[in-house]
Amino acid sequence: MGSEDISKTFVREIELCAGQDADTKCTTLHIHQMSVGDVGCVVWDAALVLLKYLFTRKGNKYVKGNNVLELGAGTGVVGLAAACAGASDVIVTDLPQFTSLITLNIKENCNVTKDCRVQGNVLCWGNENDIKNACQASMKTTSDPNTSHQTFNIKCVLIADCIYYEDGVHSLYETITFLFKLCDPLMRILCSFEHRNTGNKEFLLKTFFKLLHSNNEITYENIPHSDMDEVFHSDDIHIIVIKRKS
C-alpha cells in the first residue's frame, strides 16, 4: 500500500479500558483501516482479543513498563494498545507495503500514546538484518562483560492472527527463534490466532505448533479464556505465551 492510498481509509474507534484490578486508564484509539486491500489492512478479531487482554490484570504485566515489539502489525493497533497499556517503548513492524498505514495510525494516536515512544519499522520475517534493525530501534541493550554479545532489552513480542500464509509459517517461526537469541532471556511472546477450518488453515496451525514442539529451547502455554477480557473473547480465538525453557 503506497502513500497515495491513504485517502481510501476509514476510521474505526477502539475503546480501551482496564479492568478494576489493572492500573491503566481508559482511552480510545482511532485506527485507520483500508476499504479494500490485503489482510493486513484491517483489524481482525484475534487482534482485538489480544489487545483487550493487555488491559486485564494478568495480561497487563507483559507490557507495562517494558519494551515491546509487534510482528505482522498491519494497522499497528495491537502495538498502539500496548503503548496505552503502559509499555515504555513500542516498535511496530510489518512488510514495506504496510508502513504508510502504520505511520498514519501512530501519528493519529500520538495524543494517547504520548508517554510511550512508538515507532514503525520494516521487518520481513526471517530476515535477520530486519530483525536486528527493529530491535536496535529501541536503542536499549545490555552487554555480557564476558563476551561481545549484546542483548536487546525487549521483554514482550506481540503477534496477532499471523498464522495465515503457507509461505509465512516457517519464516515466522525463524523470526521467533532468532528473537530469543537476541533479546532478554525473560522475553515473552504473546501470539493470538483464530482457529479456522477453511482451506489449509488447520494445516498451517498444525505446522506452526509442530515447529514449536521441535525446538528444545522454547515452550509455550495457553492463556485460559477465563483470563481474557470478559467481553472480547471467543472459543475459536486463542492466545499462547511462548518463552524460553527454564
Q: What are the pLDDT digits (tens) for 26-69? A: 899 999 998 765 555 779 899 999 999 999 999 999 999 999 99
pTM: 0.91
Q: Residue ranges per domain, the chain?
A: 3-244
d(CA 113, CA 81): 9
The three cell numbers of residue 235 are 472459543
117-122 and 141-143: which strand pairing?
unpaired
Q: What are the pLDDT digits (tens) for 57-87? A: 999 999 999 999 999 999 999 999 999 999 9
d(CA 216, CA 214): 6
Q: Are 122 and 154 in contact (CB under 8 A)?
A: no
Q: Give the dihedral of Cα atoms 208, 213, 219, 224; nearest 10 deg.
A: 60
Place of cell 518463552: 243
Q: Which fold has domain 3-244?
A: Rossmann fold (3.40.50)
Q: Are 39 and 59 in contact (CB under 8 A)?
A: no
Nearest to 237, CA basis, from 85, 228, 55, 165: 228
